[in-house]
């Protein structure tokens, strides 16, 4: 039990440091590459914590490698718009001039009901009050009202 406690503390500290190095973002703003890295990191960290036969180094080295790959990916994305678009994608317009863009809804697998719910969450009652809805790279929707429309 002491070994598991010791390993858990080591990996907790290691993951905290690595997440700090990868950069600060709100959970809802995590890019796809960051999400993939976080998922892999959590899986890698869990194995040596629960299995005494796996040496600590077998967990630490992959954590450092994955974190380094993510840091390099973030740096390259910052410098290259082309690479950023490939890795992070680009915003997609779901509503324009108050009208659903069916092709983009199909492409993103978002239903009209989800759009309408997002419109309501943003304080509007109906789609006709909205000029544009954009699905951002983070998965959040930006709702832009028509000029002069106040929230209800």
Query: What is the pTM assigned to this prediction?
Result: 0.65
In sequence order, which residues have a C-beta less than 8 Å from that of residue 54 and are 6 or more positions away? Answer: 47, 48
Q: Which residues have a Cβ under 8 Å from the Cβ of 103 and sit 6 or more positions away?
A: none
CATH architecture of 91-145: 2-Layer Sandwich (3.30)
Tokens encoding 72: 């390099």
Q: What's the pLDDT score for residue 103?
A: 97
pLDDT tens digits along 89-102 = 889 999 999 999 99
46: number of Cβ within 10 Å: 13
- Structure confidence by residue, pLDDT tens digits, 49-72: 888 898 989 888 998 998 899 889
Parse the chain into domains and list their residue ranges.
2-87, 91-145
Place of tokens 């994608």: 89
């Amino acid at each position: 039990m002491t070994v598991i406690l010791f390993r858990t503390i080591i990996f907790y500290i290691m993951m905290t440091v690595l997440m700090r190095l990868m950069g600060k973002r709100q959970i809802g703003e995590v890019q796809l590459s960051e999400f993939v890295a976080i998922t892999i990191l959590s899986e890698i960290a869990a194995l040596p914590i629960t299995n005494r036969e796996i040496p600590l180094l077998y967990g630490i080295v992959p954590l450092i490698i994955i974190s380094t790959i993510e840091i390099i990916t973030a740096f390259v994305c910052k410098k290259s718009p082309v690479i950023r678009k490939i890795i992070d994608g680009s915003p997609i317009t779901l509503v324009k001039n108050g009208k659903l863009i069916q092709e983009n809804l199909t492409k993103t697998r978002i239903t009209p009901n989800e759009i309408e719910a997002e419109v309501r969450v943003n304080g509007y009652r109906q789609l006709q009050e909205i000029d544009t809805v954009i699905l951002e790279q983070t998965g959040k929707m930006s709702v832009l009202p028509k000029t002069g429309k106040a929230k209800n």
